[in-house]
Structures are given as structure tokens and as C-alpha cells.
Amino acid sequence: MTNFDLAQTDRLMQTTKQVRKRLDLTRTVPVNTVLDCIDIASRAPIGGNMQVNRWLLIDDAKKIQALASLYGEYGKDYLENGKKQVEQLGSDPTAKRVVESSIYLLEHLKDVPLMIIPLRMGLPGKSLFEQATFFGSVLPGVWSLQMALRSRGIGSAWTTLHLYNDLKANDLLGIPDTVTQVALLPTAYYTGNDFIPSKRRDAKEITYHNTWKDPVS
């Protein structure tokens, strides 16, 4: 038996999602609150317990605007192409909402009060094993951070478009070329009361048993 309130923990995991349109651009996010969340995130599984993950918090308005510009250099065309593809494929309301909210985030990224960049010391190798080991030691911590933020009324969105300009971002932020950026999380208190779980396919539709495509009975 555990002492966890499963209703609460399940709700937290099911409703921690990409927050784009509901980021409150008018409120400051306290650094100490984020540090509390990073302290929680640092307990996530790490390969070999090497503790080589790092976090960069950016609340300097000029640097946020510069990062937003780097994000948009590739992101604008990328998202506009995505919008055209969705329109060509027909009426998929979910895909349409995702593209529209992503474009909204791009247009307002320069105004977010905080950006968080998760990093890992070192560089990923070329083989699947090396990359899985490298990123597998940092990504669980990022998700833990987002859930910890969510439980405190703070939303975030996992983005990577700025990584097309990763070297320019390194120069802007003083990141050594021996350190790898993993993502960029626009972060702010969210507006509104709460979130509802997203619609997903049933677990049995996406789970196989012992052999590829063999269903779970």
C-alpha cells in the first residue's frame, strides 16, 4: 500500500500539458519558487547518478527577446508550413488548435516573464545507445520540473525550435560548446482555473504484448 492520493497524483499527470495561450504574460515568476521545483526535478532518474544536468533561468527582457528572435528565424516558416498541411488534410480540430496555439506562442514568446533551458554537460554520441543514454538522463527531470511547476499554478511549454540556432543561443547565453541544450520552456503563471485531461487513444490500442502488434488480452 502507498500513502499517495491517486486521484490527485493522476490528475496532476493527466493535466500537465503544453501551456501556450494561457500563459499570463503580466506576472513575474519568483526564482525561489522555480528553484524549489528544480530541487524536485533533480530527484528524477539519472543514468549512473552522475548529476550532470543543469538549468538556465532567463528573466532578462533583452535576452528573452533575443531568444524569441532566434526561435522565430526557423519557427515562423516551420509553423506556417504546418498550418498549410493541416488545412490541406481537412478538418482536424485538434491539429488546428495545436498549430494555432503554437503560432500564438511564437508571436508572444518575446513577452514571457521567464524562460527555462534544461542542459546536460557533455555532447550526445552518434549511436542510438549513446543518444538514448544521454537524453534519457535529462528528459525525465524536465517532465518532473513541469509537473512541479504545474502544481504551483505555473504553466510551461516544451519547445525546441530555437535549437536550429543553438550556437547563436550559446553565444548569447555564454553556454560552453561542451554543454548541450535540450529544450526551451516558456514559463509563466497560467490563467483560468484548471485543465482537463486531453483525449488520447485507449491504452490497449497502443500497447502490445510480448511481440510487436500482438494485442494485450
Provide the pLDDT confidence category of residue 85 given band limits of 50, 70 and 90.
Answer: confident
What are 1-19's pLDDT values in tens digits? 678 999 999 999 898 989 9
Q: Across-strand partners of 23?
A: 190
- Is residue 58 pLDDT above 90, yes or no? yes
pLDDT for the residue 57 = 99
**Which three cell numbers, joined as nine digits, stand for 127?**
549511436
What are 87-101's pLDDT values in tens digits? 777 767 777 888 888
pLDDT for the residue 48 = 82
The count of other CB atoms within 10 Å of the CB of residue 92 is 12
Q: Which has the closest alpha carbon to 95: 104, 83, 107?
A: 83
Provide the pLDDT confidence category of residue 54 given band limits of 50, 70 and 90.
Answer: very high
159: phi then psi, degrees, rounded to nearest 5: -125, 155
What are 126-145's pLDDT values in tens digits? 999 999 999 999 999 999 99
Average pLDDT, integer, range 147-153:
96
Task: Tell me the one-letter amino acid at 50.
Answer: M
The structural domains of the chain, ordered by start, are: 15-205 (3.40.109.10)
What are 39-49's pLDDT values in tens digits? 999 999 888 88
- Is residue 53 pLDDT above 80, yes or no? yes
- Is residue 198 pLDDT above 80, yes or no? yes
CA distances from 174 to 6, 73, 75, 110, 163 (A): 43, 20, 23, 20, 15
- Is residue 77 pLDDT above 90, yes or no? no
Least confident among 7-11, 81-85, 104-108, 118-122: 81-85
Burial grade of 187 (CB within 10 A; 0-12, 13-18, 19 or more): buried
How far apart (Å, rounded) are the C-alpha atoms in residues 130 and 217? 35
- In which residue are the cell numbers 557533455 written? 122
Q: Across-strand partners of 58?
A: 115
Provide the pLDDT confidence category of residue 50 given band limits of 50, 70 and 90.
Answer: confident
pTM confidence score? 0.93
pLDDT for the residue 91 = 64
